[in-house]
Amino acid sequence: MTQQRAAERADDDGRVASEDTRATFPFGVARRLAARLETERDRWFLWLPVLYGIGIAIYFALGEEPALLVVLMPVPIALVAWLVLRRGTLTVLATGAALALTLGCAAAKIRTSWVAAPVLERQLNLAEVRGWVELVEPRAGRGQRLTLRVAAIRGLTAEQLPAHVRVRTMVALPGLVPGDAIRLRATLAPPAIPSIPGDYDFARAAFFQRLGGVGFALSRPERDPTLGAAPGLLQLEASIARVGLAIGQRVRAALPGERGAIADALITGERGGISEATNAAYRNSGLFHILSISGLHMTVMAGAVFLALRFLLAAIPAIALRYPIKKWAAAAATLAAFGYLRLLRHGAILGHDLNYVPGGAARPPRDCVAQRGGERAGDFGGAAR
């Protein structure tokens, strides 16, 4: 009798232990995890940009260029899970994470497809190039570097025509400003791919600038009245670029020589007028980053606008005592920062503000790289730099 009771007690203890085990793993672990995450509810939003960035990284890691529908496939799955499953903490987090990852990957894919444009498949010698000037960058010593919106290149069909080319000229054309129509003869080649693994990939940077060719001019640029006025959007962009060009010219006129070139770089981001010796001195001293427009410059500019406007409004009691002047100053500083960024976008840092755009750091489709056949273009007189 005693042995039977002991056996029954052992069976009861085993069932209780089994139930405790089921309550502990995995359901108990899930409950404790959900409770822990619930205490962090006010910080959930901070993980969205992290997950968004991970989605872009996933796009980088893919072995082949995916279709947009494949990239967006997690969206309906997450929505179905949201509708079917019980809306607990873990369900909300899982569906939100899936959507953030998908949006990041889709942004990179859409960005890549949006900027896709033809790239030269081979080197072109003595090519006659006609187009509108988008960017004029002076070069130390002599000449200019011109970015052109291509209208025609002799020997290329409309399907093969790059959207933009960058050409280094040895002789500057006086009075040349963005929006002018010109023609010239040049040697053009595809943007250079890395010479060694892990080297700077100029071809990728050029892809997102829709830059399909680089090279050097074999003749002096000439104005081409037969092309007519630039397209409407280009006229607007050219007017903004002319403002930046005029600012740089005024700075260099007030501070001639190397000082003016450095001041121009600090204000407009145009580093083309700085000699190689000065660049090497800044680089060797570890201060080369100062010559590039960065968050520091944007902060200084926006902070100056904020402080100046707030001080001005505070000096008017009728306004300072009745209205939120701090918010007004902050809004004006934000608009000024966007305007400054737009102005710099047409300067020497063209394409460096891609981080300001979601998915801007994505890589070009592999078929766009493969069409160059793995050939590496040369520097072509500094046009690539």
**pLDDT tens digits for 287-342?**
888 787 777 788 888 999 999 999 999 999 999 999 999 999 999 999 999 888 88
- Cis, bond preceding 26 (omega within 30 deg of 0): yes
pLDDT of 288? 83
131 within 8 A of 228, measured Cβ to Cβ:
no
268 within 8 A of 247, measured Cβ to Cβ:
yes
Helix, strand, or coil (residue 228): coil
Q: Is residue 367 scored above 50 in pLDDT?
A: no
Token readout for 159 is 């399907």
Helix, strand, or coil (residue 150): strand
293 within 8 A of 344, measured Cβ to Cβ:
yes
CA distance 173 to 165: 18
Beta-bridge mates of residue 46:
none
123 within 8 A of 377, measured Cβ to Cβ:
yes
351 within 8 A of 364, measured Cβ to Cβ:
no
pLDDT of 289? 80
CA distance 260 to 256: 5
Specify the pairing of strand 181-189 against strand 144-153.
unpaired
- Contact partners, residue 373, CB within 8 Å, separation at least 6: 121
Q: Is residue 357 scored above 50 in pLDDT?
A: no
Burial class of residue 170, CB neighbours in 10 A (0-12, 13-18, 19+): middle
Q: Average pLDDT for residues 14-39, to the nearest whole number?
A: 58
Q: Is residue 20 scored above 60 in pLDDT?
A: no
pTM across the whole model: 0.66
Q: What is the CA radius of gyration of the chain?
A: 29
Using alpha carbons, select from 58, 41, 227 the residue that is nearest to residue 129.
227
Beta-bridge mates of residue 215:
167, 188
**pLDDT tens digits for 126-139?**
899 999 998 888 77
CA distance 337 to 301: 7
Q: List the chain domain ranges.
A: 2-115, 124-290, 295-344
The mean predicted confidence, pLDDT, of the chain is 79
**pLDDT tens digits for 188-216?**
999 988 888 888 889 988 998 899 999 99
Q: Average pLDDT for residues 238-262, to the nearest whole number?
A: 84
- Contact partners, residue 7, CB within 8 Å, separation at least 6: none
**pLDDT tens digits for 88-115?**
677 778 888 888 888 999 999 999 989 9
Q: Is residue 15 scored above 60 in pLDDT?
A: no
Q: Is residue 365 scored above 70 in pLDDT?
A: no
pLDDT of 60? 83
Superfamily of domain 124-290: Nucleic acid-binding proteins (2.40.50.140)
Q: Average pLDDT for residues 34-39, to the nearest whole number?
A: 72
Q: Give backbone dihedrals phi and psi of 265, rounded to 5 degrees, phi first.
A: -65, -40
Length of the chain: 385
